Amino acid sequence: MRIVLNSVGSTGDVMPFLALGQELKELGHSVILAAPPNFQPMAEGTGIDFAPVGPFWENEWASQLSMKMVNEPDPTRQWSIFFEGFSFAVPAMFRDLSNVCEEADVLVASCYSFAAHMVQETLGIPFITVRLAHFGEEDQATKEQAGEAINRCRCQLGFQALDDPFGEDSHSRFMALYAISPALTGFSPHQAPGFFFCKDTPFSPSRPLAEFLAAGEKPIIMTFGSMVPKDPAATTKLLIAALESAGKRTIIQRGWRSLGLDAKSLPPFIKMIGHAPHGWLFNQASLIIHHGGVGTTAACLRAGVPSIVVPWMIDQPAWGALTMQHGTTSAVIPQRELSVERLSTAICHTFDLYERYQERAQTVAAIIQSEDGAKSAAQRIGDCRQLSSYGHSGPELDGLDQHSLISK
């Protein structure tokens, strides 16, 4: 089959679709990743065909959008800000994705890519949706505010408003998957086959990084992904002070922006780095301090390393709470409440009870590694022989695999 995979957002939103593409390609399907242009090198590096759809995501515009979401204290408003923030690009996304899908046999899209839903409605193309988290749909205020932003864009392009565009109406009625762990979330493996991980590729650290790793005990790894601090310099100062107080070697991974301090002025026990795949990097860690994004959380869980979560927005507090519940996270410190004392205390607490947290983290890691979500999802998609008869309207579901329909 010719399969188009479409997602919008930062690395954590796109990487699961790239992982699914790798598995579909191994099964003999023709795959195109339709995503923001900055992901083209990543896709081509894994041998996946690429079509640019949407604006560049890792640039000043996206940084400002991320900062606006971070600075919004009301979680129900954050989703609305997200959709409103890139709505200007949706007409072009709709046009470009329509062109990519003209000869496709199936479109697999993120629930957050509402341009993909409109493409499906226009072309009648067989449609499968993937959601990367299971938080938010149960919150009526969140659904209403996010849905208002989506419907506004739909109406501007001549489409009818939907009753629940962020919740029920965001899912395909043929096959709707969650790219999350069933063991951690309580979903069935049929609904949620597991996190989607890209295949590990060889990675050689730079000489300075290799020397740092070899010079002492396993370090703390600190990464906040695409989160943009309002004051990067102040945030860096806080982090360094907390690490000095805890007395632990640390690698800080930059995100979209530098954390505000030149690497040459760092204390010798702290190393600042750029890109390094989390599949490799997290295996070097004694403790991972991260923002709770779904991709980073999944990689941390797979590595079997204890964590401290500093959530900033959207679903991140919920991922922090969930991993805390499963015993792999020792503390959740909301970014607005982050202080030198709270972070250093959490670090010291983790190492005081390290064997307990490490044992639980490794137990969960064994479960995550056994689920192989991307491969399972690819096999299910490849086994859907009735896709060619699937259209948009409901009655055509008769005779299809009704067990593919997700219900919570």
What pLDDT digit, counting tens, does each position of 256-288 carry? 655 655 555 788 899 999 889 999 999 999 999
Q: What is the mean pLDDT of residues 167-194?
A: 93
For the chain, residues classed under CATH 3.40.50.2000 are 2-194+372-404, 207-370
What pLDDT digit, counting tens, does each position of 131-168 carry? 998 876 667 877 888 888 889 999 999 999 999 988 88
Nearest of 160, 131, 153 to residue 294 by alpha carbon: 131
Paired with 34 in beta bridges are: 6, 51
pLDDT category, 76, cuts 50, 70, 90?
confident
Rounded CA-CA distance 289/344 in Å is: 11
* Cα radius of gyration (the chain): 21
Lowest mean pLDDT among 87-101, 114-128, 130-144, 174-188: 130-144
Q: What does 316-385 look like in DSSP terms, one character per residue?
A: HHHHHHHHHHTTSEEEE--GGG--HHHHHHHHHHHHHTHHHHHHHHHHHHHHHHHH-HHHHHHHHHHT-G
pLDDT category, 210, cuts 50, 70, 90?
very high
pLDDT at 394 over 50: no
Q: Please give the C-alpha separations between residue 233 and each of 154, 228, 237, 242, 305, in angstroms, as whole numbers.
A: 40, 11, 6, 14, 28
Q: What is the mean pLDDT of residues 59-74?
A: 82
Q: What is the pLDDT of residue 285?
A: 98
Q: What is the pLDDT of residue 310?
A: 97
What pLDDT digit, counting tens, does each position of 249-262 carry? 999 998 765 565 55
User: What are 387's two structure tokens?
Assistant: 């896709």
Rounded CA-CA distance 340/342 in Å is: 6
Query: 320 and 332 in contact (C-beta within 8 Å)?
Result: yes
What pLDDT digit, counting tens, does each position of 21-33 carry? 999 999 999 999 9
What pLDDT digit, counting tens, does each position of 226-256 carry? 787 778 888 888 999 999 999 999 999 987 6
Fold of the domain spanning 2-194+372-404: Rossmann fold (3.40.50)
More confident position, 387 or 399: 387
For all residues of the chain together, what is the average pLDDT? 88
Q: Which CATH number fits domain 207-370: 3.40.50.1370, 3.40.50.300, 3.40.920.10, 3.40.50.2000?
A: 3.40.50.2000
pLDDT at 393 over 50: no
Query: 292 and 210 in contact (C-beta within 8 Å)?
Result: no
Q: What is the mean pLDDT of residues 358-367?
A: 98
pLDDT at 407 over 80: no
Q: What does 245-311 look like in DSSP terms, one character per residue?
A: HHT--EEEEP-SS--SS-GGGS-TTEEEE----HHHHGGG-SEEEE---HHHHHHHHHHT--EEE--
Q: What is the mean pLDDT of residues 315-328?
A: 95
Q: What is the pLDDT of residue 86?
A: 83
Q: Which percentage of the chain shows pLDDT scores above 90?
A: 65
- Count the neighbouring beta carbons within 10 Å of the beta carbon of residue 190: 13
